[in-house]
Amino acid sequence: MKPNRRHILTGAAAGAVYLSGAGSPILGSGPALAADIGKSYSARAVALVSKSVVIDMLGVLRLEFTAKAYSTRLSEQEIADFRASGITAFHNATGVGGPNARQDALAFLAAWHGFVGRHPELMLQVASVNDIDKAKRDGKVAIISGLQNADEFSNADDVQFFYDLGLRCAQLTYNSQNLLGSGSTERVDGGLTDYGTEIVAAMNKAGMLVDVSHCGDRTTLDAIAAADGPIAITHSNCRALVNHPRCKTDEAIRALAKKGGVMGVTGVRNFVRDRDPTTVSHIADHIDHIVKLVGIDHVGIGTDADLYGYDDMPADQNKMLREAFKSSYAFRDKIDVDGFDHPRKIYDLTEELIRRGYSEPNIAMVLGGNFRRLLGEIWK
């Protein structure tokens, strides 16, 4: 019988390292036993995650398409899972679009800021990068508010307005064309528009992170060129390894890195590999590719899921999700990557990077150090 990934560790072998919370000290010695997923982690991996600032630059708090997602408190089980995840900061972002985008964006920020406020023992709302550091010190999780589109900006002045409300990151487009540019699944990519250039300038001025994860190829390159400094690809993978429209070309990755930007590698199955099996090792292949292409300073993590993944969603919501995307997304039976679909997935990735010979300082950079540096440079 398949174990339920929503079960937290309730017991461990004698001498185990207990994963007792984000940023918490390691207790005991020896390999940690994750009883709920049937695998153990080395003391080295546990220690490395524990001392690192780990940033998931697209980590939604709940994959739930109803008001229940933000209107109810986390269960004790869920709180325990957040504490055991090893993740310091989650970039909680959704896509808004259409004529009601501005109102929907305001509702999103109000709802999720309220959600964070109802969990003061666990969560800390991020205003500056110092809040990520504070969350790490205090054993809490920091929540970064973002939006996966820019339709909410009705004019350039709206950028500062939303920044003042707590918005710290915004994609220029989702998958489709908007007033700023073209999304990744559009047949024709017209590039960044004049208005898009104006919004990028306003985001630079306000100190809001520009994200081009879902932008088309030309729009991505135009945005990198238009920005005053570094921007981000918070959650995407490498086109050189998977020929998918949501993956980024080597040209884009080089351009991003040349201006000091960072790219977060995602665990969405169809972006990781175009056939099965698709495992944590294949996620690490994308990290390897970026490192070989532009160096260790420009790669991070953006899982593009909650702690539990897409395949645990109720069937009706999973169906709704799949139907919201064009056929070019090429979803398979599973959306999650094998072994990267549970609350402790960061430990699995850390183990893989250790196996590949990455040094501990370099692993810490991938886990969050690079995004920590970028956010500290961008946010006012």
> pLDDT tens digits, residue range 209-259?
999 999 999 999 999 999 999 999 999 999 999 999 999 999 999 999 999
Q: Is residue 239 part of a domain?
A: yes
Which residue numbers in the chain have pLDDT < 50? 1-35
Beta strand 123-125 pairing with 167-171 = unpaired
Q: Is residue 27 part of a domain?
A: no
Q: Is residue 46 part of a domain?
A: no
Q: Is residue 16 part of a domain?
A: no
Residue 140 is classified by DSSP as: -
Report the candidate in 242, 331, 322 with the shortest Cα–Cα distance to residue 289: 242
Q: Is residue 214 part of a domain?
A: yes
Report the distance separating Cα 307 and Cα 303, nearest Å.
9
Tokens of 306: 């909650």
Q: What CATH number has the domain bearing residue 148? A: 3.20.20.140
Residue 297 is classified by DSSP as: G
**What pLDDT is recorded for position 380?**
82
Q: Is residue 32 part of a domain?
A: no
* Residue-range definition of the domain harbouring residue 202: 52-378
**Cβ neighbours for 294, distance < 8 A, ≥ 6 positions apart:** 253, 254, 256, 257
**What pLDDT is recorded for position 153?**
97
Q: Is residue 114 part of a domain?
A: yes
The position carrying tokens 């500062």 is 160
Q: Is residue 130 part of a domain?
A: yes
Q: How many domains does the chain have?
A: 1
Beta strand 141-147 pairing with 123-125 = parallel
